[in-house]
Chains A and B, each alone.
Chain A
């Protein structure tokens, strides 16, 4: 199955919007029924294509948020006000609408599980999405892979999947979640209150001897800063996988 998921031409297909979840004021998840979906790996993405009445087409790539075990496909989209696609997906789309997509796409930034090495996940903003697919995959597969998530958001209201992450961490099966809020913290906030820096990574990351697999996803400057710190801390560069997103999206 993995092989058919990787090879061959990708065709555009239609997904039916089964559910819309407003995750934060600017971010929504679209839960889709895709009849011909062939399965995916945690960390892969889909391309979404919109076609205007005059034939103009715009394509954007969105990370898959759902676990491979989930029968429905979820993507989570941040609305960029000057974007061509995201203002439609967050705000205009309604339950029952059809969305044109193709996938799964990608193979570099994926976690298959079934590995004894601990996981370190570092997310900035909507960079949490492919990492959430990994966390959901871990949970759905009853994996106890020791996993630490360090997740940076602007404010508490901007934390995507906040309740679900809290519930998964409370299960006590080896997942810990550390939040940092860079711009605004609520009264009594006990998490980090600054951008991710080396001191924070030294507190959260696994000891080097445990040889963790590391995934970092977020805006380009954040990803490069974090990857640089991790290399300086002598983690094996081949074990650090990064995925950047930037202002050209939307």
Chain B
């Protein structure tokens, strides 16, 4: 069976636990503004690919990479270059 890249796409709900570890907050209801197209999406809506050594998060509107998250050796490595801002409840 050939697995298409598009079939491997999940959404932000799939990384709710991982984001909760990092931010210690519920983050799927946070709103992220894409650094590429400036559109705003709930983190629950973003495209997520987990079939790699790390997690890749893409904007559902323009496809820009918003986040890359790697966890290993007791450390997190978090690249948020593609996010202009994250807004969430205090």
Binding site for B on A (CB under 8 A): 6-10, 45, 47, 59, 61, 102-103, 105-109, 219-221, 241-248
Contacts and interface: CB of A to CB of B under 8 A. Distances in A.
Contacts of B45: 108, 242
Contacts of A7: 24-26
A107 B23 CA distance: 14
Contact of B26 (A106, A221, A241): A106
Contacts of B35: none
B16 A105 contact: yes
The 4 closest A-B pairs by CB, nearest first: A108-B44, A108-B28, A107-B26, A106-B16
Interface of B: 3, 6-14, 16-17, 20-21, 24-26, 28-29, 42-45, 50-51
A74 to B, nearest CB: 19
B14 to A, nearest CB: 6
A221 B3 CA distance: 12
A41 to B, nearest CB: 10
Contact of A221 (B7, B21, B25): B7
A108 B29 contact: yes
A246 B47 CA distance: 12
Nearest to B89: A6
Given A7-B25, A105-B20, A247 B8 contact: yes
Contacts of A248: 8, 10, 50-51
A220 B47 CA distance: 11
Given A106-B16, A108-B13, A108-B29, A220 B6 contact: yes
A9 B24 contact: yes
Contacts of B26: 6-7, 105-107
B43 A108 contact: yes
11 contacts: A7-B26, A61-B17, A106-B16, A107-B16, A108-B13, A108-B43, A108-B45, A221-B7, A242-B45, A244-B13, A246-B8
A238 to B, nearest CB: 9
